[in-house]
Amino acid sequence: MPIRTLLALLFLLISQPSLATNRYYSDNRLEPQPGFNWDWSVGVGYYIEDSYLIGLDSYDDGLEPDLNLVLSYNNFYLDIDHSQLSGGMVIGYSLVDKFDWGLDIVGTNVQAGFDETGLKIYDRDVVDELAGIDRRHYDFDVGLRLSRRFDDTQLSFELMHDITGTHNSWIFTSFLSRISQYRNWEFRTGLGLNYYSGDFTDYYFGIDAHEVTAQRPIYQAHASQSLVLEFHAEHPLSQNWVFLAGWLSTLFSSEISDSPIISQQYQHKAKVGVRYVF
């Protein structure tokens, strides 16, 4: 099975079009531990979101599973996080973990794929405004992550490169996060700034000559940025059940929003749900 197909099937099950996971927060529990360790929880959430792709319903809602799994063996770890809206899958190896500094090798998906049917590429109904565009495949990026923890705050930087040949370019991400407590509530806030190379931006949001229509001109995209704001809250309902709610907003730079297949400069998503902690 081609690596792109395998990754697409995997991320359809466990990822969101996202840029951050629980590794960005100071309680990520991914510090190296001797031997094999694991932790998991499951649940379900109700979400509301708008799409940045032209022709798609600006209001979408539904149920989605909440799967959280952390596996580690010495310095290796696998983190699947769906509690937060920015969650996804991360594979990593801890190189350094001393004096509140961390240096890891990480691999993760940065951009969800889409085609003329929209973001849900298994849906075969063609969106009129997207008809005729090529499929944009999922990527998988590997690189270095440098982090610094300050009690309940963490600052992270990542430099990653696509290894699937999808866009074959570099991505830089930074994220500042804070965890705070109020009675039995836990609040998480995060602010991220991301930089995408010109090849990345052009692959996903550029328009080639053979994709041009009367309403869709040719478009060559250059390096771009996005700003991410996340808020997440949890409250225990019992010994095992936890209530959760979250909000995620992303603001795109003009290099993305000016694309003929992009309808707006922002995207919002909110959800509420419950999860069972084993």
pLDDT band at 81, cuts 50/70/90?
confident
What is the percent of the chain with per-residue pLDDT over 70, rounded to a whole number? 87
CATH architecture of 3-277: Beta Barrel (2.40)
Domain limits of the chain? Answer: 3-277
Q: 115, 126 in Cβ contact below 8 A? A: no
Q: What is the DSSP code (8-state) at residue 252?
A: E
pLDDT band at 5, cuts 50/70/90?
very low
Work out the average pLDDT over 91-118.
Answer: 92
End-to-end alpha carbon distance in the chain: 35
Is 28's pLDDT higher than 60? no
**Do strands 185-196 and 170-182 pair parallel, antiparallel, or not at all (unpaired)?**
antiparallel
Q: How many angstroms separate the Cα of 239 from the Cα of each of 83, 235, 275?
A: 18, 11, 11
Q: For 159-218, how does the pLDDT look when each residue is reduced to its tens digit (9 = 90+)?
A: 999 999 999 999 999 999 999 999 999 999 999 999 999 999 999 999 999 999 999 999
Which phi and psi angles does 162 have, rounded to 5°? -65, 130
Is 246's pLDDT higher than 90? yes
pLDDT band at 278, cuts 50/70/90?
confident
Mean pLDDT across the chain, nearest whole number? 87
Q: 80, 14 in Cβ contact below 8 A? A: yes
Q: Specify which residues 149 forms β-bridges with.
A: 154
Pick 14 or 153 by higher pLDDT. 153
pLDDT band at 21, cuts 50/70/90?
very low
Q: For 117-157, how does the pLDDT look when each residue is reduced to its tens digit (9 = 90+)?
A: 988 655 678 999 999 999 999 999 999 999 998 888 999 99
